[in-house]
Amino acid sequence: MSRPRGRGYYSGATGRSTWSPAVNIPRRDFHDGLGSKAIKVLSEPPSGSAVEDVEIANLEYLASYNWVEARTPTIIVPGSPREWIERPLPFKVERDSGLLFVDQNGFRVPNATLLPLFKAVDIVDEETGRPAFDWSSVDFVTDRNGLRKLLRWINGTADKNFRIDMQLAGGKTVLLNRWEEATQENSKGAFGFGFEKATTEPAPGCERSTGHHRIVTYDFNGLKMVVRFEVDACLPPPTTARASTSRSAAPTNLDDLADTLSGLNIRAKPQASKTTRDSSGIDIIHAGSADIAQDRIIELTTRSEKNVGTFDWVNQYPQLFLSETLHHYLGVHVGGRFTDVVKRKLHTPGMREIDRQAKASFGRLRKVLKEIQDAVIASGERGRLTLLCEGGTLKVFKRKLPDECIPEDIMRRFEN
């Protein structure tokens, strides 16, 4: 959800919106653990230069999970996003308050923010009987957030400094490890969280969720990407329409009764979930559904009525494109009183001009990613490089410590 980068959920056992005073949050130094001098300065590809026409192809769902509030890091796999409900308009919500997550993965597993991604893929592979994923074929493993930061730099809109730690896995795969000054922040009093809570409901088995993450793989003009991103909501599962004649006929046996119930919008009570302790220290709750189709995913955004006309598609559109999130719902409000929800869909005529304008920057992103990959490969398996953007300039630094983005047993999966 496009709001101050907490993406929807308050830290705390209940996840509810309750007022609390601002908290003094410690922040890390962007140069922490880096060498004193940059080894390379990356140049923005000229905006007028010829770039390839970029498309996302062969997108495949790999896994998903929900974080829950617990003493030890705990995820629900495959989990489920919150489901959209058509709430009658208008309605009023309170201002957001309290602490929001900037990066929940970094908050809960600070030393291995990519680790839940691999654990979720393993479990979905096992539970679905799918062949194990070929990690050695991948060019980049990243959060969508990292790609969006690079795009802001390319477009000259990187108004904040950012850092991305990098590591080579196998012979060619680049791990882009999200790095934030702080993994939580104080709410700025917007209405995004309240809108999400008012217009969605948790899926069965995911009532304790504090955020849903989805992992996909796709071809980005010759670069094989594995991308993790947070999902605000999804469309509810379709219901099966029944002919009026069948409604009048009483079921005559258990099979008929089951068929009749399947045609109604009635949710079965979820079965008791199973919890296991992973060797990595992450607890796994086995619940949710791996059958959420990609075309059901929704990105939620809120804007005040006076700012709707100046909506920033340069910043918002890549969020949809880089994860193939088809649906964008914009809640329009006046002081928290929502009067309209503007619904748009990716790849439709109404989005064609926005797509055309964005294509050039995606081609430039493709070019920068290749340059980054070449630099990381040249640094070798022992190399530890970091991208640091300060004042709009993107530099490459060496890290002093041989830190690992993921444990060694997972690193071995990238070997041919």
Model pLDDT, residue 203: 95
Distance CA 231, CA 299 (A): 7
Distance CA 141, CA 278 (A): 22
**Closest Cα to residue 373, out of 189, 217, 226, 172?**
172
Local confidence pLDDT in tens for the 416 residues of the chain: 544 344 444 444 334 444 456 788 999 999 999 999 999 999 887 776 556 788 999 999 999 999 999 999 999 999 999 999 999 999 999 999 999 999 999 999 999 999 999 999 999 999 999 999 999 999 999 999 999 999 999 999 888 999 999 999 999 999 999 999 999 999 988 999 999 999 999 999 999 999 999 999 999 999 999 999 999 999 998 874 333 333 333 444 444 444 433 333 334 344 446 777 777 789 999 999 999 999 999 999 999 999 998 888 888 999 999 999 999 999 999 999 999 999 999 989 888 888 888 888 999 999 999 999 999 999 999 899 999 999 999 999 999 988 888 999 999 999 97
Cα radius of gyration (the chain): 22
**Closest Cα to residue 303, out of 187, 195, 181, 222?**
195
Query: For the chain, which residues make up each domain, given as ranges?
Result: 40-237+271-414
Q: Please name every residue paired with 241 in a beta bridge, in sequence order, or none if there are none.
A: none
Distance CA 187, CA 89 (A): 25
Name the strands in the sheet holding 140-143, side by side, starting at the edge strand that comes first in the sequence: 40-42, 393-398, 385-390, 162-169, 173-179, 140-143, 223-231, 209-220, 56-68, 74-79, 283-288, 274-277
Which residues lie below 8 Å from residue 194, measured CB to CB, with a gap of 6+? 17, 93, 94, 95, 96, 336
Model pLDDT, residue 377: 97
Distance CA 174, CA 96 (A): 37
Model pLDDT, residue 246: 34
Model pLDDT, residue 8: 44
Distance CA 292, CA 339 (A): 29
Model pLDDT, residue 259: 41
User: Amino acid identity of 253?
Assistant: N
Q: Are 300 and 233 in contact (CB under 8 A)?
A: yes
Provide the token pair at 324: 């193939």
Backbone angles phi, psi at 214, to 5 degrees: -125, 145
Q: Are 59 and 327 in contact (CB under 8 A)?
A: no
Provide the token pair at 116: 């839940």
Model pLDDT, residue 102: 96
Could you give the 3-state DSSP secondary structure of residue 101? Answer: strand
Model pLDDT, residue 344: 94
DSSP 131-175: PPP-GGG-SEEEEHHHHHHHHHHHHT---S-EEEEEEEETTTEEE
**Neighbour count for residue 221 (Cβ, 10 Å):** 18
Task: Tokens 């495949």: give the residue.
Answer: 60
Backbone angles phi, psi at 121, to 5 degrees: -60, -40
HSE at residue 3, side-chain half, CA atoms within 13 A, is: 31
